[in-house]
C-alpha cells in the first residue's frame, strides 16, 4: 500500500512535510505527493503546476519514503481525486492506495466530484490535529493523528509578496527556487 497526499502545494511547506512524515510513520507506508494541476475548489494557483511539482521534488529530496507523482499534470483539468485514483488503478493494477485528507479537505469532501466513489478506489484516511478533528464516516474509514503545525501556503505567499522572510517555513531549496523564479511577488 502507498499513501497519496494531494493538494495544490502552492508552495509546499514544512507543515506538509511534517504531516506526511507522521502519516508515513503511523501507517508504515511510503507517501506520494500528488500536486493538483487545477483544484476545482481552489482555482488560480499562483505558481504553475510544473513549478509546484518542481518545488515538491526539491522539498522531499533525501527522504526515501517520499516521492512525487505528476499524474494529475497529465490528466485534463480540473483535477478530480476520483479521476486520479481511477488513472492510478489503471496504471498500477493490483497496487492499493490510502488517500490522506487533512481536516480542511475532509470538511470540503461533500463538495467533491463523485466523493462517494472514493472509498471503492482507496482507503480514505483523515489526518487529525489538535483542534481540527476529522469526522469518521462516509468515505473516511479512519483517522491518523498528526502534529498541529500552523503554517499555510497563503501566509507564505503573502510574506513573499511583502518581502518578508519565509526561512524555516519552507525547505531552503524551495525558498531558493521561489526567489530564483520570482514567485509570489
Scan for cell 480514505, then name that residue: 124
Scan for cell 470540503, then name that residue: 108
d(CA 93, CA 175): 37
Is 162 within 8 Å of 144 (Cβ atoms)?
no
Q: What is the pLDDT of residue 11?
A: 98
Is 72 within 8 Å of 8 (Cβ atoms)?
no
Q: Which three cell numbers stand for residue 98?
A: 490510502
Q: What is the pLDDT of residue 148?
A: 84
Q: Which of 4-8, 42-46, 138-142 has the lowest mean pLDDT?
A: 42-46
d(CA 9, CA 156): 11
Q: What share of the chain is helix, strand, coil (3-state, %, to 5)?
A: 40, 20, 40
Residue 157's φ and ψ, nearest 5 degrees, are -60, -40
pLDDT averaged over every residue in the chain = 94
* Predicted confidence (pLDDT) at residue 20 exceeds the cutoff of 80: yes
**Residue partners of 28: CB distance under 8 A and separation at least 6:** none
Domain boundaries defined on the chain? 2-148
Mean pLDDT confidence for 67-72? 98
Mean pLDDT confidence for 49-62? 98
CA distance from start to end of the chain: 40
What pTM was estimated for this model as a whole? 0.94
3-state helix/strand/coil string of 151-177? CCHHHHHHHHHCCCCCECCECHHHHHH
Between 173 and 107, name the one with better pLDDT. 173
Q: Name the CATH superfamily for 2-148.
A: HUPs (3.40.50.620)
* Predicted confidence (pLDDT) at residue 42 exceeds the cutoff of 80: no
Q: What is the pLDDT of residue 91?
A: 97
Q: What is the pLDDT of residue 126?
A: 95
Length of the chain: 185
Amino acid at each position: 500500500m502507498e499513501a497519496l497526499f494531494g493538494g495544490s502545494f502552492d508552495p509546499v511547506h514544512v507543515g506538509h512535510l511534517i504531516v506526511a512524515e507522521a502519516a508515513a510513520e503511523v501507517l508504515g507506508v511510503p507517501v506520494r505527493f500528488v500536486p493538483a494541476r487545477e483544484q476545482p475548489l481552489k482555482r488560480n494557483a499562483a505558481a504553475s503546476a510544473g513549478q509546484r511539482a518542481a518545488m515538491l521534488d526539491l522539498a522531499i529530496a533525501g527522504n526515501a519514503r517520499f516521492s512525487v507523482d505528476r499524474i494529475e499534470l497529465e490528466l485534463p483539468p480540473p483535477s478530480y481525486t476520483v479521476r486520479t485514483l481511477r488513472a492510478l488503478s489503471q496504471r498500477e493494477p493490483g497496487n492499493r492506495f490510502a488517500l490522506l485528507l487533512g481536516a480542511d479537505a475532509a470538511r470540503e469532501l461533500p463538495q467533491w466530484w463523485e466523493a462517494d466513489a472514493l472509498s471503492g478506489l482507496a482507503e480514505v484516511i483523515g489526518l487529525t490535529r489538535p483542534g481540527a478533528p476529522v469526522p469518521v464516516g462516509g468515505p473516511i474509514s479512519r483517522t491518523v493523528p498528526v502534529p498541529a503545525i500552523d503554517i499555510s501556503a497563503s501566509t507564505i505567499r503573502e510574506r513573499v509578496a511583502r518581502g518578508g522572510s519565509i526561512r524555516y517555513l519552507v525547505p531552503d531549496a524551495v525558498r531558493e527556487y521561489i526567489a530564483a523564479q520570482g514567485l509570489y511577488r
